[in-house]
Copies of this chain bind each other. A is one copy, B any other.
Amino acid sequence: MEKFNFLDDYSEGCHPAILEALAKTNMSQQTAYGEDEYSSKARSLIRAHLGGATSDIFFVSGGTLANLTIIASLLRSHEAVISAETGHIVSRETGAIESVGHKILTVEKPSGKLDPEDIITVLAQNAQAPHMVKPRLVYISNATETGRIYTKAELTALSAVCRENDLLFMLDGARLGAALMSHDNDVTLADLAALTDVFWIGGTKAGALIGEAIVINRAALAIDFAFHIKQRGALLAKGRLLGLQFQTLFQTDLFFASGRYANDLANNLSKAIISAGHDLASETQTNQIFPILPNALVAKLKADFRFYVWGPHDKDHSVLRLVTSWATPEAQVDRFISTL
């Protein structure tokens, strides 16, 4: 039997509902470059979640493209990004942000979560104009790279500090579905539209083949954004592919259901690990679990499963990363638990 992998939330294809939608619409002729009717419908469906905000919505094929296109479009070359050291743009995107000309000012945060004091500190440390870059955009991920989420109070406080200091506030939502469906979550898409300047909704990790939806909440920031999408290579000729997937995710509860399902399995796994007497390196709030396990057990698990060994914990223990998704069979989670 093949080893089941808990490596990530993008090891399978797409949710069957998307496959079905692709088949059903395949031969319909559609205007290219995102002017198709599916993209238009998908924009309306997403906008309906935004609490009345008239945000502009754009679809791109991946997260790095979303991040670099947004930042390159919004900032002038002397302006910098503030991010937690763990931010995806810092060390998992091959310097994409610097390749488009911007420094990232980082803050060390084990949780991956920035707070207002972090922002104030970075501003104070970079005040020597014009010898230093000018901090201009705060980048956060929700869920963070360690599976943690922001509360509405936390986002409200960050938003306030940004507005007081003329900083743009951007949220990377590669795992936004999981974040919004966390048991601990009190944030809605409408809150994000009100609190951030721009955020993006990850499709790839929520059951799409590819695709992220960029939501720009201030009209002035969306001016000419389409040029940037094209210039960076993020505009698909067959934009229908992105539109149709987001239409499918949002015309029913599918986007949210995917996150809920993945979180529930992660929660089961997490509880079983704790029950078995093991600790976690990071609290489980979404679909990533970071157990600290004895190396002997890790070796045993490896016989049946694939997962990342995130790093050593001490000489006898390692930190693992396990990820669940819409595609994870409950039976595999049960099998993993029983192997524990």
A residues lining the B interface (CB < 8 Å) = 2, 4-5, 7-8, 10-14, 16, 19, 22-23, 25-32, 61-66, 68-69, 72-73, 76-78, 80, 91-96, 98-103, 126, 128-134, 204-205, 209-210, 224, 226-238, 240-241, 327
Contacts and interface: CB of A to CB of B under 8 A. Distances in A.
Contacts of A62: 61, 233, 235-237
Contacts of A226: 129-130
> 7 tightest CB-CB pairs across the interface, nearest first?
A65-B233, A78-B227, A13-B26, A94-B231, A64-B233, A130-B226, A95-B103
Given A77-B99, A78-B224, 11 more contacts: A13-B28, A61-B62, A62-B233, A65-B233, A72-B77, A78-B99, A99-B101, A129-B226, A130-B227, A130-B229, A232-B233
Contact of A204 (B8, B13, B131, B237): B237
Nearest to A231: B94
Contact of A80 (B95, B101, B102): B95
A14 B241 CA distance: 10
A261 to B, nearest CB: 15
Contacts of A229: 130
Given A29-B4, A101-B99, A236 B210 contact: yes
B29 A131 contact: no
Given A4-B29, A77-B72, A224-B78, A230 B130 contact: yes
